[in-house]
Amino acid sequence: MALIFALSAQPKPPPIPGLGFLETIYWGDKVKHVAAYAILSALVWRALDPTRAALRRVVLAMAISVLYGLTDEFHQRFVPNRTCDICDLTADAFGALAAAIILRKVGDKHVSNKLGKAGRREDIRGEGQEASQSGRQP
């Protein structure tokens, strides 16, 4: 989030190494937005509690990323030579959604591989959580 803020606070952001070819594409700016918010969504998804329901984790990662994108677009209204653009916000949301969906699929396989075929959500909780939920002290 800090990197996105720093880049969006500049009147003319510097080119991203290795992505110079995007400057020649009409939608190159949107591709950068999709990539940045896909990475942000992936990082948020990873930071969320893995015992949380998978769909809730996906929705939270996307919602946090899109809400941050909204604040970033608002912030750009006050930066010279930058604008608040709904198309940028749409690209942010698309990147956040794409990453959240992909990570849910990858994450579900990773968790199910750790748990085995008969694994349950309760199996990945720590012992302290199990004891506290049943009212016993660890």
Q: What is the pLDDT of residue 38?
A: 94
Nearest of 31, 11, 15 to residue 94 by alpha carbon? 31
**Residue 1 CA to its chain's centroid (Å):** 10
DSSP per residue, 34-53: HHHHHHHHHHHHHHS-TTS-
Domain ranges of the chain: 28-117
Number of residues assigned to the chain: 138
pTM of the entire predicted model: 0.68
Q: What digits encode the pLDDT tens for the residues 40-56?
A: 999 998 898 888 887 88
Lowest average pLDDT, out of 52-56, 84-88, 104-108, 129-133, goes to 129-133
